[in-house]
Chain A
């Protein structure tokens, strides 16, 4: 019986599998994989922070146990704006609050019968879909503070984390 010829080309299926897994040129594939990994690490660690949403205080905009991204470059050229949903860091950035900005620096924010009043004027909140009956006295933001609150104000205020936050705690704008 003749021994198999080592120089013979591999079977067609094996060749196809090899091309599918590592490409025609393994060096090029390795280079591409490294570039992809580097891009992913830079993007998802420094620019778009992927985050898992936990909790119901941003309903119905963000559902519990869904994904969101926090764009850290959003406020490089302009300050946070009213209506933006932002990530707010605690001691670090592995756990953040996700809240909506309703009050800007130096503004007075009040809740009356479930409506937000900024400097005494009713704030139009198209994102607010759930019933709310909060009535809370006015609070004035400091020169570098924003007033943030979740969208789900159907829950009692005692169970909802909201209030004034310093600018430097705002990590970025939530997107997607």
Chain B
């Protein structure tokens, strides 16, 4: 009995040690995932935000990017923009806050590939944006490039990924979209699945 107790205690100590190690020295992937979660939170905003809060929010968003960041948004038929530098990111964040009353951004799928030197990483993710006034969320696959600059993981490049390649001619770009997305509910018991509530979990 004593041996068993000792073994259990030793296992608990090892588990605690591992948890502490991962909490104190997180892997680059963990840090990047955390940064992305923070970015999604900071890009999102709700109605009734004051001017100061707007500016602070936009500045906070820009803080996730490197000074020479390049953002290329190219969704045929919908949007085509190119931003270079933090200043333009701030302006774009401010513009989005003044044009839309509410925006909720989520990254339901995030795939992180860290380079062998652990100084850069590419992230393939799905952006899901709930914009006020729209019945359905906008979804878009994107690729982010991160670099470790002065100890911080900053976004140096953002580009849209064409899930469906469309090189046929399309009408002039518009912001409105009517795409159809389905959200797969990852896990759940049958009771949860057939319940009227929306997506149970994106995790």
Give complex CA distance A40, B185 in Å: 12
- Any chain B CB within 8 A of the CB of A90? yes
The answer on a CB contact under 8 Å between B163 and A165 is yes
Q: Using A55-B179, A136-B168, A160-B179 as known contacts, say yes or no to A87 and B110 having CB atoms under 8 A apart.
A: no
Give complex CA distance A54, B190 in Å: 20
The answer on a CB contact under 8 Å between A91 and B109 is yes
Residue picked from A37, A54, A70, most chain B C-beta under 10 Å: A54
The answer on a CB contact under 8 Å between A91 and B125 is yes
The answer on a CB contact under 8 Å between A97 and B184 is no
The answer on a CB contact under 8 Å between B78 and A158 is yes
Across the two chains, which residue of chain A brings its CB closest to B173? Answer: A158
Q: Which of A68-102 contact B (CB under 8 A)?
A: 68, 70, 87-88, 90-99
Give complex CA distance A90, B124 in Å: 9
- Any chain B CB within 8 A of the CB of A148? yes
- Any chain A CB within 8 A of the CB of B188? yes
Q: Which of A137-175 contact B (CB under 8 A)?
A: 137, 139, 145, 148, 150, 155-165, 169, 171
Please classify how large the interface on chain A is, using the bins under 10, 10 to 19, 20 to 34, 35 or more.
35 or more
7 contacts between A and B (CB under 8 A): A40-B190, A51-B184, A55-B181, A90-B141, A96-B181, A96-B182, A150-B180
Point out residues on A near B: beta carbons under 8 Å: 36-37, 40-41, 44-45, 49-58, 62, 64, 67-68, 70, 87-88, 90-99, 136-137, 139, 145, 148, 150, 155-165, 169, 171
Known: A88-B163, A94-B186. 10 other contacts (CB 8 A): A55-B181, A56-B178, A64-B136, A91-B110, A92-B109, A95-B128, A97-B182, A159-B77, A159-B174, A163-B166
